[in-house]
Chains A and B, each alone.
Chain A
């Protein structure tokens, strides 16, 4: 029996092993480009099929270089990468970078400096994309995709409930109040279980526009962008409304991140807020549906999310040269950038590629997706607000994600936002 005591120590010590290593700051521009041919690894969150076309095109253009793709599910991606990059894992050459995380990843020395591509990047991408991939006047990653959000609606359920559905015209955009009222009607007489559902109900990306629509700001302020500001009137109002949609049963609790889309596809919800990728995914659903612009609050202004994944190079990679070739092909080369969007329908970030891509969006799922192209263009020109650029964004997203989950589950939203302010202040103490 005495042997158990050491066993306990060993068991706990085993967990300690994962916590080793300390990050260093500022990645030096690597002089050693590594071999000219070989195999590089590319790590991201999407299914392997998503990147097959771009990898194939790249390999055809660069004989002797092979690319292997590794998928890490979105829920675990950031934490796993943090762990592997801080351990200087050379088995990752190229990886996808969520745009608001660029600052912190760069500050931690997890990205190779790409500043020599600056001029090229400035002309190939939008000003927003150009800016978000910079930190301390240096370029750290190359924008691959862009995104926006749509309001998907169940045509059959709305017709049954005798509700005139929203149109695709951004000038006729619905308010959240209208969506709520129509959603309730659909629950009463349209045959749906729920009225409204967000695709990522606990993600800052989708909920920031609620607060911004009411003038609540991004939630981060200050010169160093390390001061929490999530208790503004806009944030409080938006979260009171959001919490109430769950308390009243308009939206379901307890259905997690990647189980949300199927709820709409199965016809169980009248309105669904989702991204361009859903334009094709829902195509296989038996439900008849349409797309409209993302709603805003009555008396507020229309605001939509934007930004998506960039790609960057791991400074610990021993194959910098080949990795460089791949990230340039997948982003700066319009054909390569387009190839990244042929399986999963997401907007390419390269402006040249975007020009060719956007018009096709109307036909992703036949007549159902009519109007998607015009909405996409309109939102990117008028309503898109990116997530805040802050070296503390990673902590911010983490803390806010938990706050949104609690508000969803019925915690008083004002008190929970106050709690989030305290948690952010605590978490950012170690950064300052």
Chain B
């Protein structure tokens, strides 16, 4: 009987398992295997290269720069997005006039595909674009934005946050609304001010959704691709060459699929290491 139940369960799970295997596991294994091979276009034939692709990558200046840029980007973008999402969530859970309307406006960019957002921002960041128009009105000097090695990463962070914070804010709003009313009232009666209530009451109670947002946001930011491809092509001087874009350009622009697969494996490892680190930190907190 038990065995029969198991078989029935397996039958129900089969479509999902087959999809998982065909769409995820097989390609992942194939990437790992292919990353150990190399192929010469002129001489032809696939040759086992061992760790050759990995050592090639690690000795490549552009790749090392790409890792550096990606780590810097990760360290900057995630705290900014999580903090802004949290502040917006606190703001929009206040009982204030038009809170729902504002909330909708903040969430709206999610409905725009990343590629379209990138095109919109390419016009905003143009030398004669909207951003410089606003700066000019305020009496400030025009900025180079995407064409400057030092401003390109911050410019991308602003763009990505415009797309992302609304989405992450939703999870935090749900979390804040879960905070029991009695707890807030108790704090109020104890004479805690708004700042105190946010830091000592709300923040500890939304730790779980906050942790989810941090981890999921980190993963999604490690895989940023469309804005880089559309706006900067990794430049100027490789200062926006995030790993995901570097993988793409190695695989399909340069056409070296095997080295690109080695890079994918490194990207996965890096993502897992960062996420594992975050889990450890969060567990330590509890």
Contact = CB atoms under 8 A, between A and B. Distances in A.
A397 B28 CA distance: 30
Interface residues of A, number: 61
Interface stretch (A15-23, A114-122, A322-330, A345-353): A15-23
Interface of A is mostly: helix
A410 B236 contact: yes
A13 B24 contact: yes
A1 interface: yes
Contacts of B248: 79
Contact of A14 (B24, B128, B230, B259): B24
A255 B127 contact: yes
Interface string A404-420: 01101111000000000
Interface in B98-157: 122, 125-129, 144-149
A8 B275 CA distance: 8
A1 B220 CA distance: 16
Interface residues of B, number: 71
Contacts of A79: 248-249, 252-253
B215 A430 contact: no
Nearest to A252: B127
A1 B236 contact: no
A19 B40 contact: no
B281 to A, nearest CB: 12
Contact of B41 (A4, A86, A391): A391
B257 interface: yes
A33 interface: no
B223 interface: yes
Contact of A398 (B23, B27, B254): B254
Contacts of B90: none
B164 interface: no
A259 B237 CA distance: 22
Contacts of B148: 409-410
Contact of A16 (B27, B220, B255, B282): B27
A4 B212 contact: yes
B44 interface: yes
A431 to B, nearest CB: 4
A366 to B, nearest CB: 30
Interface string B269-286: 001100110010010000
Given A8-B275, A422-B61, A426-B60, A17 B212 contact: no
A207 to B, nearest CB: 16
A3 to B, nearest CB: 10
Interface stretch (B80-88, B171-179, B260-268): B260-268
Interface in A320-372: none
Contacts of A12: 219, 223, 264, 267-268, 271
A18 B212 CA distance: 28
Contacts of B272: 5, 8-9
A395 B254 contact: yes
Interface stretch (B30-38, B184-192, B195-203): B30-38
A92 to B, nearest CB: 15
B42 interface: yes
B244 interface: yes
B255 A395 contact: yes
A5 B276 contact: yes
A401 B253 CA distance: 11
Q: Which residue among B30, B146, B236 has the maximum number of chain A CB atoms within 10 Å of its CB?
A: B236
B64 interface: no
A10 interface: yes
Given A12-B267, A13-B28, A19-B260, A405 B42 contact: no
A401 B42 CA distance: 24
B147 A411 contact: no
A173 interface: no
Contact of B219 (A8, A13, A23, A426): A8
B211 interface: yes
A187 B48 CA distance: 60
A82 interface: yes
B234 interface: yes
Nearest to B267: A12
Contacts of A383: none
Contacts of B252: 78-80, 82-83
B128 A394 contact: no
Contacts of B260: 19
13 contacts: A1-B208, A4-B215, A5-B279, A14-B24, A16-B264, A25-B41, A107-B41, A107-B42, A254-B145, A398-B249, A429-B56, A430-B39, A430-B259
Given A17-B23, A193-B128, A431-B42, 6 more contacts: A18-B251, A86-B257, A104-B255, A253-B147, A395-B254, A426-B60
